[in-house]
């Protein structure tokens, strides 16, 4: 059984002295309870979002530009804090985490961005290995695991290349390798295909599906409707600050309308 073989192998990264609660295994990985968030008074981006995501799910989060997709994800990795409500990650309220606990939350979450967020002057290897270096793992183990991650994203043997000279698709693969190398419980993808052509976008989506098949929960934010049609999965539509949950997926009727299943 490989380390990617499914939810049962999951153990979160914990702070020194913290104990892993076995009950956490049975809880939903994410629960949003009446979450409010606004950047300007009077115009909240999220208005009482309720949502539950179980472990091992693949969920698309969609909505028009400014609907709050990125905000939702930023709240998850505590780049932002909620104004009201609770977000529970394995039963723990993310908003109540102290500053020194945030790194340990992030070690359980892999994040992939539209703009890749790679260090251009670093090699592919260095960009991926950084996620393990922060854990203080031995160099030999880091080498092995980075090699495996690069192989999974189709970049085996490219470790010495500078990240800055790679194509967009390759850079997104490096970012994905960095997100999965630490075996996080949850992967957040914030418009990861936004800068890629349609075929590459489908390839990258396939990559996330492979990661998901290995047991990782994936929350994939996109406004690319074709991706939603290509893979009919659970979709959360953000509209006017509310989350509309569509478990069977949606189809696109026209440029402006989603058709929800009956």
Partner 1 sequence: MISLSTALRARRGMMREWRLHALSIFSLAVAFVCLGASLLVVTNLRALEDRWAHAGRASVYLKDNASAEDIESVKQALLKVSGVKQVRYVSGQQARLDFGANQQERASSLAALPAEAFPSTLEVDVVPEMTDTELSDMAAKLQKVPSVEDVETYRAWTERLSRLISGGVAASALLALVVLGAVLAVVGSTIRLALQRRRTEVEVLKLVGATDGFVKGPYILEGSVQGAMGAVGATGLLAALFTIVRGRLDGEFVTLLGLQPQFLPWYAVVGLVCSGALLGAFAAMGSLRKLVLV
- Crossing angle of helices 124-133 and 168-181, in 10° steps, is 20
Closest distance between partner 1 and the C-beta of residue 177, in Å? 12
- In terms of CB distance, is 12 or 63 closer to partner 1? 12
Count the Cβ atoms, other than its own, within 10 Å of residue 107: 20
**What percent helix, strand, coil does the chain show, rounded to 5?**
35, 25, 40
Q: Given the rule CB under 8 A, which of 28-36, 99-107, 225-233, 239-247 is the region that contacts partner 1?
A: 99-107
Q: Which is nearer to partner 1, 121 or 252 (CB)?
A: 121
Is residue 145 at the binding interface for partner 1, with CB under 8 A as the rule? no
Closest contact distance (angstroms) between CB of 40 and partner 1 is 21
User: Does residue number 18 form part of the binding site for partner 1 (CB under 8 A)?
Assistant: no
CB nearer partner 1, residue 21 or residue 123: 123
Spatial contact of 83 and 38, defined as CB atoms under 8 Å apart:
yes
With contacts defined by CB under 8 A, how many residues of the chain interact with partner 1?
A: 26
The answer to whether 223 and 63 are in contact (CB under 8 A) is: yes
**What CA–CA distance (Å, rounded) separates 60 from 228?**
8
DSSP 123: B
Write out the residues near partner 1 by the rule CB under 8 A: 13, 77, 79, 99-100, 103-107, 111, 117-122, 127, 130-131, 133-136, 178, 182
């Amino acid at each position: 059984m490989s380390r990617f073989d499914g939810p049962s192998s999951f153990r979160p990264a914990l702070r020194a002295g913290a104990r892993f609660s076995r009950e956490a295994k049975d809880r939903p990985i994410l629960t949003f309870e009446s979450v409010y968030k606004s950047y300007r008074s009077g115009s909240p981006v999220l208005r009482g979002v309720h949502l539950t995501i179980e472990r091992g799910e693949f969920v698309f989060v969609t909505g028009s530009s400014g609907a709050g997709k990125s905000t939702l994800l930023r709240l998850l990795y505590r780049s932002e804090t909620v104004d009201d409500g609770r977000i529970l990650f394995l039963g723990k309220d993310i908003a109540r985490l102290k500053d020194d606990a945030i790194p340990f939350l992030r070690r359980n979450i892999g994040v992939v961005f539209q703009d890749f967020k790679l260090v251009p002057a670093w090699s592919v290897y260095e960009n991926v290995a950084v996620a393990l270096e922060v854990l203080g793992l031995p160099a030999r183990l880091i080498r092995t695991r980075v090699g495996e991650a690069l192989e999974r994203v189709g970049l085996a043997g490219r470790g010495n290349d500078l990240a800055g000279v790679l194509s967009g698709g390759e850079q997104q693969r490096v970012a994905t390798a960095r997100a999965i190398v630490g075996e996080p419980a949850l992967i957040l993808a914030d418009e990861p295909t936004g800068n890629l052509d349609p075929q590459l976008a489908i390839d990258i989506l396939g990559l996330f599906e492979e990661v998901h098949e290995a047991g990782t929960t994936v929350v994939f934010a996109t406004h690319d409707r074709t991706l939603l049609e290509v893979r009919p999965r659970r979709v959360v539509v953000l509209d006017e600050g509310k989350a509309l949950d569509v478990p069977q997926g949606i189809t696109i009727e026209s440029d402006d309308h989603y058709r929800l299943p009956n």
